Structure 1
Amino acid sequence: MPQIRVRFFAAAREAFGTRECSTAATTLGDLVTALNEGAGTEASTVLGRSSFLVNAIATTDRDVTLNEGDTVDVLPPFAGG
């Protein structure tokens, strides 16, 4: 199974307590499931509201295939003014 680099931003970084990690996954859906397995309530909530970039391309397709060395960015909703 491919190892995927996951980078967390803003509230996701805070909730997961790290800037990045590596995990095995073949699809974005598998990756989200794997991240949720070890996550606390806050991290799961943030993950459920986040958008994702796969190799810098936004996607909502949880069936998108991930390959060895891919990078997935977890972007929670941002507020600003």
Structure 2
Amino acid sequence: MAEGTIRYWAAAKSAAGVAEEPYDADTLADALAGARTRHPGDLVRVLQRSSFLVDGNPVGTRDHETVRLAEGGTVEVLPPFAGG
């Protein structure tokens, strides 16, 4: 399993109650499942609407099971936001 960091932004940060935390997972799906387990409630809802960057690359519509995580990598959780 790879170890890295999940960073939460805006509403995701508020729902998780932390700005970042470690992951220990092989895929984005596994990392997000861990986040849902650690932070049941609002974060689960926010994750359903969020976009993700893995090591700076947009995940887009790829199946989260197919997105491999690297050792020392970073997952950015970007909820929808207004403005610009």
User: TM over 0.5: same fold?
Assistant: yes
After superposition, the C-alpha distances for 1:5-39 in whole angstroms (9 at most, x for unaligned) are 11000000000011100010101111111111121
1:50 aligns to 2:50 (yes or no): yes
Question: Shift in Å at residue 49 of structure 1?
Answer: 0.9
Larger deviation: 50-59 or 37-46?
37-46
Number of aligned positions between the proteins: 81
What is the identity percentage for the equivalent residue pairs of Structure 1 and Structure 2? Answer: 42
Aligned partner of residue 46 in structure 1, secondary structure:
helix
Structure 1 residue ranges, 4+ long, deviating more than 4 angstroms after superposition: none
1:41 aligns to 2:41 (yes or no): yes
1:67 aligns to 2:67 (yes or no): no
Is there any run of 5+ residues in structure 2 with no aligned partner, and where?
A: none
Is there any run of 5+ residues in structure 1 with no aligned partner, and where?
A: none
The TM-score normalised by the length of structure 2 is 0.89
Aligned partner of residue 43 in structure 1, secondary structure:
helix
Question: Shift in Å at residue 40 of structure 1?
Answer: 2.3
Question: Shift in Å at residue 80 of structure 1?
Answer: 1.8
The TM-score normalised by the length of structure 1 is 0.92
